[in-house]
Each structure stands twice: as structure tokens, then as C-alpha cells.
Structure 1
């Protein structure tokens, strides 16, 4: 893959022609996915009875849903009154926090939650701030590229997706407002662009938006002084940027993200456990600086995004690589890092926990973050038809539940240690070091390493997947237990606060056990996910599966694009993906089309929002000699360069050597085709929406190659933005073989 890493362009992802994808949220009851082993789409969600889909049976409880929504409303209005415009609220003191560069992280990050809950008044307030008040060209302090991508960029692209798919009605947010939100996402992505300037393409961790350069001196360095990053940092932007390329029609963003994790996906270094990369990683040459492996902090979301990248677009040229790497990683996790803890007195078996590894030592410690793994493994297990993965995911989820159920507050801690029942000759790192820890181990089967609870969503996220995939009501019940415990323990006068010690006895109104902190993911992820458990009817009958904005768009949760997007980036990318249809005849026509030395675009436009502009820009981005054809414009400007137009096909300097893309109304296309035929044009590509039956038949009959109609990799049919790069590659390969 060395050639891949250094190639100037990757596959162009055009939003105009591909299926509109919910990046951060999985649409609940009627979500169907394209099966990897079949050309038919398979049902990822459990086959609930119709009554269950309406939330009337199987634990659906409108009162519980209302309570979650009320908690979100309280969270919003406390912030609105005390901290509007700041990144977060100080929930104990009522003060303001600036933890995410001063752009209003709460406002942006929670916007998709408000959209899904139907909180239109609150959503309008947030969107007004997003479009009119935020200036992403300046920032307070250094910009963390990872956090900014999953919380800001993921939320923005996820919100646009929700508008485009009418989850947000046009009466609430107009098309013009939608376009302004997308413009903000593009501005932010462009400001983050220089972070990808490292020799490997992996992003620098911290950007200076004033100078436009990375903070090299603030980047983490290893023992040797090498500048390093971890897998989660390099591998948790693909979903957000894929969706942004889809929405903007600009392949630059997905190209950057693909190169960003190429060092991980196509790892040229030996992997003792296939799929699990050694970290941290040298930012300059991609070499591992140490042997740390795991699915926990600093590693976690890379593995999450691998699966979601595959689900997001199974037709992507590298999709199979992403799928296979994820499968390898799960198998290596199961074989090497999943341990059964020592059984408690009177029990026959212990529970499963996830360890990490460092230089020959197994670190028998697990953080709350790692409780995302059960849900991710369940999702992939169902999608790929791997029952063994489903068994593993449910076993790990039982372990996370045991931790929650054991503490006095019924909330899981930030980190705990466990004692493996059988290490099989493996060396583990930690044993209880105090009488208190030994007592905890004897009573609970684990001991606390960090007793805090930071309002994190991972356990609730995995419960959501478990319930939607298995239909077992106990996971719904566990989620409600967690919500009520969290709400009771964290509520303050000004919102909801982090807990200092989950092992302390609950005392209502006791603020001494609370930290004066509440990060945006409380509303963006935890409450969003919780709202989907009780059969919430607030967010439409096609309620998406929970996720943050990340990585759906689609990780943090599969949109938030966020299912995409980690949370926002993550929605969890469970998407309604159509199977790819291709034919040998059309593949041959595409190859012929790209065999020409020249190209032209009939209907080229000066307007960046038009397909005529996007298609012409695509040719230029791929270093192809292209002429814009537009009788009403003297030139078309792309990236500050004016390109002179030709008034018609017959005015081209060498039409017999020119393949043309046509983006004209169907009523005008047949006349263009006849002119092209008379001029000797060898091949034409009719973009979706540019032809009727007569025009398509004429193109296929009268030209050496006529491309258009149903097929290709997009729902709308053959589109150069989606199918062009593969055809160009095949044409070049064919030419090389002939030479």
C-alpha cells in the first residue's frame, strides 16, 4: 500500500450521487443494512412486533421517555440562563467554562440531541448561535484536532444530515439555514486542514488557528524525543470527513481522512496480534515507538470507526480492508485481552473484562471508555453474521453491568482493576495495594482505581445496541436503572455534575461528592442514547439508533456523524445502504470514457452548490485536461483560477479526442448529444437527472461509450463523482498493460 499512501488523490466521494446517510444515528425499528455476504439487505435490528415498534409493548414507556426529555430540557435551560455562548456550565457554582476553544461546545454538540427529541424552540436558539455567532477562523487557545472533529465537526455534519432527511422539518430549519450550517462545517474543516501536513498524513494533535500551523512544541513526545500520536487520534476522523465530502461534493476531506489512518489500516510493521496496532506511533515515519495495545483509552475509537466506515459505505474501494481489519482486531482482543475475573464466593464463574498490554505485561485495569466495546462488537457481529462476536459482546456487557450494579451509587467508575482467574502464564501488572482495595476485591470482584463518574455514555450506548439487536428487555431495564441512578446522584441547582466517588453512599442534596464540571457529551451522547431506550416517541417513528455525533458522522456514535461521528461523529453508522450494481458492459464503457486524453463538462457552472461546478472541479482535482462548456459564462472559477469556457461542444479544439460529461436538463440533452455525435465525440457520461429514456437510448446507441442510468455505486445511478475514479484507475491499468 505504499503507493496508496503517497497518491495525491483517493476515491472521490460525492454527496450529490450517493445515498443520504445518517451518520450518527441508526434509524430504529425499520433499519435495514446491506449484508456483507449477500446482495440483499439484512435486518440488523431485532424483529420486534409492530406494537413494539410504536413503543406500546416490550417495555416502551412514554413516561420514561418524557422524563429523559425533561432532563435534557433542564440541562439546556440551566445552560441557556447561566452560560449561553460558553463551552459549558459549571453545574455546582453556576459559572461558565471554556474547555473547547470558546465556540460554545454545548450548543454545537447537543444540537442533534435536540433535533432527535423534537425540541424545536431550543434547537432554533442553538442554530441561530451556530450560524450567526460562531467564528471558526479564530480560537481561544490551542485547538485539539481530535476533540474538535468529533464534537464540533461531527455535530455540524450530523445536523445537516438530519435536516436533509427531514427529521428536522423544513418549517423548523429552512434550506438556507441548512446551507449556513454546512458552510460552518466547511470553514472548520478547512481551518483543521493544515493539521494533516505531517509526513505520514496523521494529524498533528494541536493546531494554532492564529498562525494556521500546528503546535509542534506541544505535541506528545516519547522517550527518544520522537513526536507521537495514538491510534484513536489518527483513526477517528474518517466518518466525519467522509460525510463532509458527501455533503460538500469536495473529495479533499475524505482524501485527508483516508491518508490519516492509512498507516494503521495498512500497517507495514509486524503485528504480533493481527489487527491490533502497537502504539504510540511516530508522527513522521509511522513506526511504533512502544508496544501498547488495547481497545481502551487512546486506542478505542480507531477500532470503532473501522466497523462504521465499512457499514457507512460497503461499496468504497477500501471497505473490505476496513471490515477485515476490524474482524482481526476483535479476534485478537478476544484471544489476548479479554479475561474472566476470579469468581466471587458462592459463584462458579467470574465476569469478563478487557485488559491492555504494554511490553510483555498485561495491564489488568479497565476504564469506563472501554465499555463502548460490547456495543461495537454486537453491531459488527449482527451485521457480519458472526454469532461468536455477539456472544462476546454480551459477555463483556455483563461485565460492565456488574461494575455498575456493585457500587453504592449504582454507577460505574472511571477506572477499576480486576484479578484474572487464569492468566495462562501471562504477567499481569496490578494487585490490591491497600486494605480498602483488598476488601473491595473480596466483596465485588474488582477494586477502584479512579472512583469518579464523568457523565460518560459508553455503558448506556452498549445497552442500546444490546436491546435493539437481541430484543431482550433486561437491557432496557438496565439502561433505565443507570439513568435514574445517574440523575439522582448528579443533579444540582444548575444542571448535572460529575461525581467524585461512586463508592460513596448517596445523600440527596450533598454537593460535596460532586465536581463543578459537566462536559458537552452529557447532553450530546448520554442523554441522547438514553432517550432511545424507553420507546421514545418524541423523535419520529424512524427514530435513529443512538450515537453521539461521532462517527456515523456517522463515532463518537455512529453519526454524531456522530453514529456517524464518535458521538456526533459519530451516529452509529447503521445505514440503509443499497447494494452496488454494475455490469460488464457499463464497466467497459467507463474504461473507454477515461481512455480519452481530453474531457469537457457540458453545463459547467460558476455556482459551487451546483453539480455542474462539482463535476468540473472533480476533473481538475484528478489532474485531467478538462474544458467547461457554458454559452452564458466566459469562464468558470475553481480554487481562484478562472478556466475559459467553450460555448458549445462543436467549439471544442479536438472534440474527436474528448469525452464529455453532460449536466443539462433532459429537454436540452438530446440536442447536445446530437451535436456531440456530429462533432465526433467518442464517449459521453449522462449525469443523474440529465436525461429521459430517449436521450439515454441515443447515448448508448450512437457513441462508442454511453454511460448513464441505473447502476454504479450510488442510489441515483451512474455518477462520475462516485464511479469516476475507479473507471479512471481501470483505464490507466489497461493502458499500462498494453504498453
Structure 2
């Protein structure tokens, strides 16, 4: 009996020491805010479980929201077919076969990986201390902002990054907090369908796919049912903003007349994966009908193969516009086409359209949007521009505008992914040149970071392009937006900010994983150092006002995608390539990995 009591006493003291270390304030472990007291209690229970078995999944039960979205009586219920396709049985290999070579410079890459993690840990600690359960931290003032309905966007968005970085204690504390979020209340009267889908639903699904924690699945279903209420419309097309209280009443919502095409086009992955993990086809069916509208009209637009920047879901008009881009307002709609094919395959008629839509838009954009810029070193790179189709004497005439933006930099990685998915070498090589174009833009500016929006000189001959200084001076002088210190080859920096965006490192990550070429990993390190230095604040990292000059003023702004995407992609470049293998996961537009189901 004495031996048993002594053993229990020693065990109790050991757990008590660990708990005190974890919950007493220190430099490396800031205490939680007062509003997080319930999370602290939950965290104590979690840690006790975790100490008993490091492989155990702590018992956390999701608190039901104050309004249950699955109880809404729809006036216009969406169709329940088509049914979810069966899992894909044979996918082509996506990742490079690294073998032993991935460990060739382990010490160097390990130091880099740890440095990325250090930057993340600093941002996460400041979020916990100053903005816990709020949407975003303000990195200069240490204040917070709720811009996405007040459901702790940064917290949800960062869940899978915490898991990937091995920060299990923080992860399970975050899960305990997420389990209490009330999706029946909102800080705004309307809910942004797009942002809620990619950040909240995407974040919850990915964290569930990685950890298997049922509380995350329960919350994902709540958010999925909330977004599903956005399809309660007369023509079963989704709204852009969900009128929160009207949606609860179920009387039917009004579809906006004009929206950016990315909004209705960026639901496919989240809804399809939610159907896969729940077994309920209703989510897949709803979004499949939306994509039917785009599919049926893909070759009827002014630029056949692509859709205009603005569309009308109320009129189901995805044809009429004349502006075409893979940049802002349209980007993620195109991104989701090859990725939907990866997730769903082409075995069923309802999913077969994604491969067709992918190849068609990729061919069209190669012929009409991508251009070789004229640069002093004559590098063979590509940049993605915009295309306006204007009627000229009764004939629709495409006109390439050599304006690009940071958002467009995702396209290099997507083309590389498409190259593997569709076994098309031209797509892969185009993707590599597009990624190198964004790397070039980063290197060109004195801060080592590319601007939000800019123009470059267009090569008249893509195969025989030679630098012409006089032409550059002349072209730059025509532009109202040019500044004296622009790098050669650039004619404007229309928006010189850097707002912590991930798209360039996203493509660099994908090209590294697909090709295994070390040039991309080295470019990633250069980019990380430049970004970390320019954006660092006492609290975390802030947007930069002007990347064309060193020492530019910072802005009190840090979107949740800084920790959800940008730092995650940097980390994954330097991590073991089997962590979030592209043969096992497909990432949504917020860098949330969804597990690819196997037959």
C-alpha cells in the first residue's frame, strides 16, 4: 500500500510541475487572456491526458452553437443529386521521387525550418496574448480586429500549421477553444460566403483530416450547414453574402446581380471534401450544379475557354463580361478546377467536367494571358497579365495588358500541378517559367519583395527577346504610375505594398515538391529572409507600404493567411517532403490540406 501511495504521489508531483511550467507566465509561454479562462481549464485537462499518452487524442467535445443550421426549413431546397463520386483508384504521381536526396543538406534545411518556425511562434504567441478568440492581431499596436464575423479567423486558420510544426500542446488548446465557437452568432449582419468557406470551413476540415479529432468535424459540419443555407435561393445559385438572420428564417435569400467569378467558383473543394468525410452528398450536389453553369458556358464567352472577371449568378450569366484574368477576382475559381479533378477524379459524369474545364482554361491562358517580359538579363521567364476583349469593327479582339499582381503568382504552381495530373510536359514547363517570373520580381526590388501590383515590358517576340534600354525608358515615361527608382524592365509599381501574401512562395513550394530542383528551395530562403526582415515588428509581422524602397513604413495589418499560408509554405519547403505530400493531399486556396481519399 505504501509503495502504491508513493508512486501516485510522485506521478501527481510530476504532472503538477509540468502544469505549473505550462500555465505560469514566462518569456516563451505568455499567459492567456482573461476571456480564455475556460480554455485554460480545458488546456489543463488536455495536458494531463497528453502526459499519460503522447499519441492520445484529448477528449474535447464540441459545444453546439446557439442556432443549429441543419434545422433551417428551406423555401428553395437545393437538389440532392448528383451523388458523391466513388474514391479515385489511380492517380498519377505528383511529387518528385526524393529518395535519399531530400536529406543531402539536412543541417542547413533544419536551421532554415527552425527559423521559419521561430517567426511563426512569435506571431502565434502575440495572437494568444493580445487577440485570443478574435479574427486577427494588429501587429503594430497589439490590438485586434474582427473582420470575418468574429469567429476567431486566425485561430481556425492556424490549426493545421500548428499541427504540421509539431506544436501539439498549442494545437489541442486551440481545438478546445474552437470547440466553443458559436456559429449561431455573428459580429456582422451578413457573412461573406467566400472567406467563410476558405478560412473557416477549409481550416476545420484540414485540421480534422490531419488530427482525426471529432470536435473539429462537428464544427466543420456546423459551418458547412451555415454555408449551405446560402443556396436557399430561387435558382439554387449561392449568394455572395449570407444575410444572417434571414438565412435562419429559411424564407429564401436574394442572389446578388453581379459578383466576382472567384466567389461562386471557390466552393468546390470544401463542399466536396465535407461530403466525403460526412457521407452526405448534399454539399457536393449543391456546388456541382454551380459548376455546371460555368462548364456549359466555358466556350461561349468573349474569350472562349475562360470566364469574365464578373458574373451574374442571379441571371446565371457567366458569359457577358469582357475582362479576363487569373489574378484577383477570378484566381481561385481557376485554381479549384485541377484540384477538384485531383480530389474527385473523372469516373462519374458529374466530376468528369473538371478535367475538361482545367485543360481548356490552361490552353486559353497560355495563348492569351502569359507573356515574356523584356529584362536586362534576357531571362526566359513568364508573367501572367490580363486580357480585355474589345469589339473592333464588329470583331471581338483580345488585347493583352502586361499588368500583373502578387495574387497571380499562384498560377505557376497550379500549372506544374496540372502538368503532373494531366501528364502534360508543356504545362509543367510553363509553370516553372511562371514561378521563375515571380522569383525574378522578388529579386528585382531593393527589399527583395515584389509589389502587390505592377507592369512589365512586353517582349514583342517571345522566342527572340533582347533587352532594349531605350524602349524601356520610353515605355516607362508613358505611364502615370512610374517612379524613378523602378528596377529595369518594370514600368509601374501601381500598388507598391506587400501585405504578407503567400502566392509566390506557394508556387515555389509546389515547384520544389514536383521537380526536386534545389533552385526553388534556395529561392524560397532568399524570399523568406527578405519578408521576415521587412515585416518584423515587436509583436509579429506587418504589411509593408512600399517595397520599392528599403525601410518603408509598415501598416498595422496582419491577415490570418500570414500564419495559415505564407509561413506554412515556407516551412514546408524546408521540411521533409513527406510532410503533406502532394500525392496524399490537395491544398485549398487558403493552404489547408485535404486528404485525398483512396479507393
TM-score (norm 2): 0.78
The equivalent of 1:307 in structure 2 is: 338
Partner of residue 241, structure 2: 206
Distance of 1:436 and 1:145 partners within structure 2: 34
Q: Return the offset for 1:440.
A: 5.1
- 1:278-317 equivalences under 5 Å are 278-287=308-317, 288-314=319-345, 315-317=347-349
- Paired residue secondary structure (1:357): strand
1:497 aligns with 2:542: yes
Aligned partner of 1:342 in structure 2 is: 374
Give how far 1:533 is off: 1.1
Unmatched runs of 5 consecutive residues or more in structure 2: 1-76, 391-398, 463-474
Instruction: Say yes or no: does 1:266 pair with 2:296.
Output: yes
State the partner residue of 2:388: 358
Provide the rounded CA distance (Å) in 2 between the counterparts of 1:128 and 1:103. Answer: 14
What is aligned with 2:505? 460
Structure 1 residue ranges without an equivalent (≥5): 1-5, 20-32, 36-41, 165-177, 221-226, 425-429, 507-511, 579-714, 716-739
Deviation (angstroms), 1:268: 6.9
Instruction: Report the counterpart of residue 529 of structure 1 in structure 2.
Output: 569
Kept in 2, the 8 Å contact 1:275–1:328? The answer is: yes
1:60 deviates by 6.0
Q: CA deviation at 1:13?
A: 2.7
Task: Give the Cα separation in 2 of the matches to 1:125 and 1:369.
Answer: 33
Separation in 1 of the partners of 2:451 and 2:184? 38
Aligned to 1:542: 578
**Are the aligned partners of 1:461 and 1:546 in contact in 2 as well (CA < 8 Å)?**
no
User: How far has the Cα of 1:362 moved from its partner?
Assistant: 3.1
Deviations 1:685-735 (A, max 9, x none): xxxxxxxxxxxxxxxxxxxxxxxxxxxxxx3xxxxxxxxxxxxxxxxxxxx
Q: 1:532 touches 1:545 (CA, 8 Å); kept in 2?
A: no
**In structure 2, which of residues 80, 90, 93 is the aligned counterpart of residue 34 of structure 1?**
90
Contact 1:343 1:350 in 2 (8 A): no
Q: Residue by residue, what CA displacement relative to the aligned partner does 1:384-418 show, whole Å, maximum 9, x if unpaired?
A: 11111111111111211111001111011111112
Question: Does structure 1 residue 239 correspond to structure 2 residue 295?
Answer: no
2:136–2:144 CA contact under 8 A, matched in 1? yes
CA distance in 2, matches of 1:308, 1:494: 36
Deviations 1:548-594 (A, max 9, x none): xxxx9x6xxx3xxxx1x2124x42x6x6665xxxxxxxxxxxxxxxx
1:50 equivalent in alignment to 2:86: no
Whose Rg is larger?
A: 1
Query: Residue 373 of structure 2 contacts residue 489 of structure 2 at CA under 8 Å; is this kept in 1?
Result: no
8 A contact 1:339–1:352 mirrored in 2:
yes
Q: Describe how 1:616-635 pairs up with structure 2 within 5 A.
A: none
C-alpha deviation, 1:545, in angstroms: 4.3
8 Å Cα contact 1:351/1:399 also seen in 2:
yes
Aligned partner of 1:100 in structure 2 is 148
Of 269, 275, 281, the residue aligned with 1:251 is 281
Does the alignment pair 1:70 with 2:141? no
Q: 218, 222, 235: which is aligned to 1:187?
A: 222
CA gap 1:483/1:327 in 2 versus in 1, 3 angstroms = same
Contact 2:498 2:545 in 1 (8 A): yes
Cα-to-partner distance string for 1:415-457 (whole Å, 9 max, x where unaligned):
1112212299xxxxx9655687164567243420101111111
Partner of 1:12: 83
Matches of residues 405-484 of structure 1 in structure 2 within 5 Å? 405-422=443-460, 433=478, 437=482, 439=484, 443-484=488-529
Counterpart secondary structure, 2:488: helix
SS in structure 2 opposite 1:61?
Answer: helix
Q: Secondary structure at the match of 1:74?
A: helix
Change over 3 Å in CA distance of 1:338–1:18 after alignment to 2 = closer
Contact kept, 8 Å, 1:529 with 1:546, in 2: the verdict is no
Match of 1:382 in 2: 420
- Range 178-187 or range 192-201, more displaced: 192-201
1:212 alignment partner, SS class: helix
Q: CA contact under 8 A between 2:232 and 2:253: conserved in structure 1?
A: no
- 1:567 aligned residue: 590
Cα distance, 1:229 vs structure 2: 1.9
CA distance in 1, matches of 2:483, 2:128: 45
Return 313-322 or 495-504, whichever deviates more.
Answer: 313-322
| Aligned residue number for residue 723 of structure 1 | none
**Which is helix-richer, 1 or 2?**
2
- Determine helix, strand or coil for the equivalent of 1:449: strand
Query: What displacement does 1:468 show?
Result: 1.2
Partner of 1:724 in structure 2? Answer: none
TM-score normalized by the length of structure 1: 0.63
Distance between the aligned counterparts of 2:361 and 2:436, measured in 1? 21
CA apart distance, 1:337:
1.1
